[in-house]
Amino acid sequence: MNQVCYGLSLFCACSIITGKAQTTSQKKQKPPNVLFLLTDDQSYNTIHALGNSNVVTPNMDRLVQIGTSFTQNHVMGGMQGAISMPSRAMLLTGMYSQHLHRDGQVIPESDKTFPELFRENGYQTFATGKWHSDKASFNRSFSTGADIFFGGMVQYETDGHFRPFLHDYDPDGKYENGIFRTKFSSVCYADASIDFIKNNRDKDKPFLMYVAFNSPHDPRTPPPAYGHKYNAKDIPLPLNFLSRHPFDNGELGVRDEIFLPLPRTPEMIKKEIALYYGMISEVDTQIGRIIEALEKSGEYDNTIIVFTSDNGLAVGQHGLLGKQNLYEHSVKTPLVIAGPDIPKNEQNNAFSYLLDLYPTLCELTGIKYPATIDGKSLKTAILEKTPKGRDHIFLSYINIQRAIKKDNYKLIRYNVAGNAERVQLFDLKKDPLEQDNLADAPTYKAKVEELTLLLNREMRTLGDFCDLSKPGWGYPQKLPYSTILEMRP
């Protein structure tokens, strides 16, 4: 071979090698994708790998094994019974409950959602499933979507999960022509997600997928074809089961609490838990299908996966059924974050809110987020394996319940029909199921006073409309939702 041919061959070979190196480098530099998996009404203690041996959740278990689980993640509460509306609005906007508009019913343009921010930063944003705010904010947030559910819950009158009323993506944002699907809701959302991964994603862009299931929210009708079938006789009764709540907490007449008659029997509750676990297992199956499609796409290793829920549920604990209370089972949700460089099979006890996911995802993907949001990034707690979360957690429900949680203690105060004297204090380290009220014990008087001062200070800092120093907190009767909307238009 002459020198010219040799030189040309060497140049071509080097070009090919350099080209491959550039391609590899480009792949490495591509921002990570985000797969956000959100369930509805799933309490923190309903995953097998995190300690509940009675529930079957192989795919959630896998996420626990490949990621970091936050065991102290909370939703702040809400101003009406449908907690998922403010919860999801807080999650999307990174804002405290006290700063939402219309309790999350509307997300104005001034409150940029994290999918909207990702979209502005070059991400293809896709959504399927439940959206509990206005349609305009949905379309600002997502560039595409499929099988979209607008509202709070699938309706009993129209066959519930078996016949969800869904919309295709409408670029005009009107969503006037929805149809009833004939597949179970979770299957619809998984199918839409898989179709996006296989056929509709822009391979030149990173993507953010927001998959918001209706399960395990009632109607609790787990399909027999997949998941796991539970026998109520095999379900142990919660250790903090009561046949009725021991006092009026101000919200015993809400829809969730009249779901079963009083007094609740062990048989009633075990049957309800069996159905609840069945719904969790069925949605677990669909989560597994989405992750499998992600693996086959070749994008799995460059994807941050977040799994969480909008709020918890009592299902017989403390004599309650719903989430309109400030006990742990209702305000704590599972939270698992997995992906590139995220520590595997770690459990982290840092205090967090759902709204902290906004800045966390931004920092993990290198996106600058607005300084005005209330969320606090968990990146340090994740990557440095230190439990550096929030110092304390503030919780609220309408004008009838307020709580503060710091270290191992939780203080709950009630304002029911003008009586604002009822107090509960729990030592969560010794009493995680909140069964032993220490508030009236003389040895805990100083702790009650300390936490009450902290609660009062936090309420003022956040702009809470209630004031503990006033009779009936300034609002002795439960505020109707219409008044709440006027206070926070």
For 20-45, the pLDDT digits (tens) are: 444 444 445 789 999 999 999 999 99
Average pLDDT over residues 262-286: 98
| pLDDT of the residue at 2 | 42
| Predicted TM-score of the model (pTM) | 0.93
The pair of three-digit structure tokens given for residue 447, joined into one six-digit string: 């702790």
Domains of the chain (ranges; CATH) run 31-390 (3.40.720.10), 394-487 (3.30.1120.10)
| pLDDT of the residue at 24 | 43
| pLDDT of the residue at 484 | 84
Cα-Cα-Cα-Cα torsion 5, 10, 12, 15, nearest 10 degrees, comes to: -160
| pLDDT of the residue at 23 | 43
3-state secondary structure of 4: helix
Fill in the amino acid letter for 221.
T
Residue 31 · residue 206 · CB < 8 Å: yes
> If you ran DSSP here, which 8-state letter would residue 100 be given?
-
The mean pLDDT of the chain is 93
Residue 86 · residue 104 · CB < 8 Å: yes
Which helix (H) or strand (E) covers residue 212, if one does? Answer: strand 207-212
| % residues pLDDT > 70 (the chain) | 94
DSSP string, 15-57: HHHHHHHHHHHHHHHSPPEEEEEEESS--TT--GGGT-TTS--
The pair of three-digit structure tokens given for residue 262, joined into one six-digit string: 């009083």
Average pLDDT over residues 151-160: 97
| pLDDT of the residue at 22 | 42
| pLDDT of the residue at 199 | 96
| pLDDT of the residue at 28 | 54
Pick from 394, 446, 401: which is nearest to 423 by CA?
401
Sign of CA dihedral 396, 356, 117, 336: negative
| pLDDT of the residue at 486 | 85
Q: Picking from 9-13, 238-242, 308-312, which range would have the lowest pLDDT averaged per residue?
A: 9-13
Residue 11: pLDDT band (50, 70, 90) is very low
